[in-house]
Amino acid sequence: MSKPVCLVIGAGAGIGGNVAKRFASAGFHACLARRTDSQGLDRLVREVTDAGGSASGFMLNAVEEHSIETLVENIEKDVGPIEVAVYNLGAQIGDRALADTPLKTFEMGWRMATFGLFRLASCLLPCMVQRGHGSLLVTSATAAMRGNSGQHSHASAMGARRMLCQTLNAEFAAKGIHVAHIVVDGAVDAPDTLGKMLGPQRFQALRERKGLEKDGLLVPAAIAETYYHLANQHRSAWTFELDLRAHTDLAWWNHAGL
């Protein structure tokens, strides 16, 4: 297969799915990976192909041993060289006091947000280095630079993720690999993630209050444009970190500490 491959780990109906579609529309073969809802995954793949693009779907339990490693190996062998990888997994669990954050929850947050990225980098970046180019785009959050109330698990895992992106920059940028840390700061108009966390009624109310006409929720397709721009930057002028925020939602910005 001659198309460059864009692998999206964490491909739901929000950021991940839209990033996959954006790259597919530009001639990439999109590999969409997610843990649950294989029908939803099929639907996303079909949306890409219906629009004239090319895509495959993969079920993936990212915290399982060897899962990410095997997926990368298979795609590199069967589909083609991964030119762009998007790591879009996290484990935001809503606000929890310390007493309501069991050790297992805290550890799982790190396994999804940090360790999975480390495993992806460990198996994928050597392939990219051999080819002399490649991009790893990492969805992150305000919690990576400011630990606010109730986010013991989320903030700690995201802070770890941010520092990991920087140590990857320090080792791999000069080898042609572009790792970018993308601070998505605010509520995303994503039924799969925010919608599930809030429940359908609160999510719809939020959409009506902030989103839609007022553009106060981050629109995933708009986010995807910046992911695509990052993967296309000339290597003399790469962005290693940026924020994405809705214009109306300054409360988020004030808490961000970027």
Q: Which residues contact 88 (CB under 8 A, 6 or more apart)?
A: 8, 9, 10, 11, 15, 16, 19, 139
Among 70, 122, 131, 199, binds its own copies (CB under 8 A): 122
Measured CA angle at 144 (ends 139, 120), to 5 deg: 45
Cβ 187 to its own copies shortest distance, Å: 10
What is the footprint of its own copies within residues 133-152 (CB under 8 A)?
Answer: 143-152
Cβ proximity to its own copies, 133 vs 196, nearer residue: 133
For position 217 contacting its own copies by CB under 8 A, the verdict is: yes
For position 49 contacting its own copies by CB under 8 A, the verdict is: no
Cβ proximity to its own copies, 60 vs 124, nearer residue: 124
Cβ proximity to its own copies, 46 vs 229, nearer residue: 229
Cβ proximity to its own copies, 9 vs 45, nearer residue: 9
What is the footprint of its own copies within residues 26-45 (CB under 8 A)?
Answer: none
Measured CA to CA, the distance from residue 60 to residue 43 in angstroms comes to 16
Structure letter (DSSP) for residue 96: B
Q: Which residues contact 57 (CB under 8 A, 6 or more apart)?
A: 11, 31, 32, 33, 34, 38, 41, 42, 44, 45
What is the footprint of its own copies within residues 146-185 (CB under 8 A)?
Answer: 146-152, 155-174, 176, 178
Cβ proximity to its own copies, 82 vs 157, nearer residue: 157
Our measurement of the distance from residue 219's CA atom to the centroid of its chain's CA atoms, rounded to an integer in Å, reads 14
Identify the three-state secondary structure at position 89. coil
Mark the segment that binds its own copies (CB under 8 A) among 5-13, 40-48, 53-61, 209-217.
209-217
What binding mask, one character per residue, do residues 82-121 give for its own copies by CB under 8 A, x or -? ---------------xxx-x-x--xx--x---xx--xx-x
